[in-house]
Amino acid sequence: MLSLILGFAPSILNGVVNYLARARDAQVEMYKARYGASHETAVAAVTAYGQVASRWWFVAAGQALLLWSVAIYIAKLLVWDKVVGAFVGCVGHTAPDTCMLFSTDDVGANLAWVVSAVVLSAFGGGLADKFLKGQ
């Protein structure tokens, strides 16, 4: 059984390596298109970015944690409370202490600004960049 599993390991590993190589080539091409750099400069920049990202992974992890926490909150609010709750009759005005499973506390004024800022930073960065460059 172990030999059967290990027999698939090279093909799986080759698939992963090929995917990572294609992803790196795509990053190089995007860097060349965005900044008009030569191939060597783009390769060096992508490699340097990868080295920085591997050493400073905790910076990216903090941003990802913040984005995922807001995404989970919004998904719970929309999918669970509104969609699933509608199928079981727990949307709108219900009797007190019923449908407690399908109710999410209000965000509040201060936290609403935080959620808005996180969503805007996740999706608005590219739009702001295009606007400032006049494209």
Domain ranges of the chain: 1-55, 57-135
The 8-class DSSP code of residue 110 comes to H
Task: Please give the chain's pLDDT, 135 residues, in tens.
Answer: 556 555 666 667 677 777 778 888 888 888 888 888 888 898 888 888 878 777 777 777 888 888 899 889 888 888 888 888 888 877 766 666 677 777 777 778 888 888 888 888 877 777 777 777 765
The answer for 134, left when phi > 0, alpha when psi is -120 to 50, beta otherwise, is left
Q: At 19, phi and psi to the nearest 5?
A: -65, -45
Say what the pTM is.
0.51
Which pLDDT belongs to residue 125? 72
Instruction: Indicate the SS3 state at residue 14.
Output: helix
Which pLDDT belongs to residue 90? 79
